[in-house]
Copies of this chain bind each other. A is one copy, B any other.
Amino acid sequence: MTRTRVHNLNISLDGYAAGGTVTLDAPIGGAEALFGGFDGRFIHGIDAVDAPVTLDRALTTLWGQGIGAEIMGRAKFGPPAGDRPDGWRGWWGEEPPFRTPVFVMTHESLPPIEFANGTSFHFVDGPPHEVLRLAREAAGGLDVRLGGGPSTVRQFLQADLVDFMHLVTVPITLGRGVSLWDGVSGTEGRFTVESVASPSGLVHQLWNRNAPVPAG
């Protein structure tokens, strides 16, 4: 079995997981404070960085475990088409952290982009189950990470295609933005949820999809 997993999806107290329009100066659309305390160095494991291993960082290390491909929305890859500099290759320079194929959901038709570290971006148009099929093929038996943003995760939740989510409540308010839950209800009934308060003030939630009830 392979899973479709969401990691480190940070949500404000008032329910927002991203801001409004993404610009070159505002990669999360004005909601950059959501990641103010996030130590991204830990996504590749505790051995990758010389810093104390806190609960928050320990849970961050789940990000890369057994992942063979990522799916992301267009806004995670970059600003809208007209607002990007020529030759845009994403926010991450020549060392994107993914190190796997990444499927960017967009109506634009763009050629793939490849990097020396194993990352490649593939631009695909289609419904969630079709994009997931492509990502699974590319993942070679490993899990698929659903990288966000919140609108993308929401589409997959509504299609019941998410197996695991690590959500993080950040004790800040944003006042406006994009909610993961907009128009979604009853999702929690399909999952078993653990909530864990961190000494840092964050609250971590681990959502594990319940096994399907056998037919018959």
Selected contact of A46 from candidates B1, B62, B199, CB within 8 Å: B62
Tell me the nearest residue of chain B to A143, going by C-beta: B47
Of the A-B pairs whose beta carbons lie under 8 Å apart in the complex, a sample of 16, sorted by A's number, is A46-B62, A47-B66, A47-B142, A53-B164, A53-B208, A54-B206, A54-B208, A55-B204, A55-B206, A58-B59, A58-B62, A194-B198, A195-B199, A196-B196, A196-B198, A197-B197
Q: Report whether A1 and B199 are in contact in the complex, using a CB–CB cutoff of 8 Å.
A: no
The interface residues of chain B lying within 8 Å CB-to-CB of A46 are 62, 65-66
A158 to B48, CA, bound (A): 28
* Chain B positions within 8 Å of A52 at CB level: 192, 208
Residues in chain B near residue A47, CB distance under 8 A: 65-67, 142-143
Can you name 11 extra interface pairs (CB under 8 A) apart from A54-B194, A195-B199, A197-B197? A45-B66, A46-B65, A47-B65, A48-B66, A53-B208, A54-B206, A58-B58, A61-B61, A194-B198, A196-B198, A196-B199
- A interface residues with partner B (beta carbon < 8 Å): 1, 45-48, 50, 52-55, 58-59, 61-62, 65-67, 142-143, 164, 192, 194-199, 204, 206, 208
What B residues does A195 contact at CB under 8 A?
199
Q: How far is the CB of A216 from chain B (nearest CB, A)?
A: 22
Of all chain B residues, the one with the shortest Cβ separation from A208 is B52
Contact B50–A61 (Cβ < 8 Å): no
CB distance from A113 to the nearest CB of B (A): 26
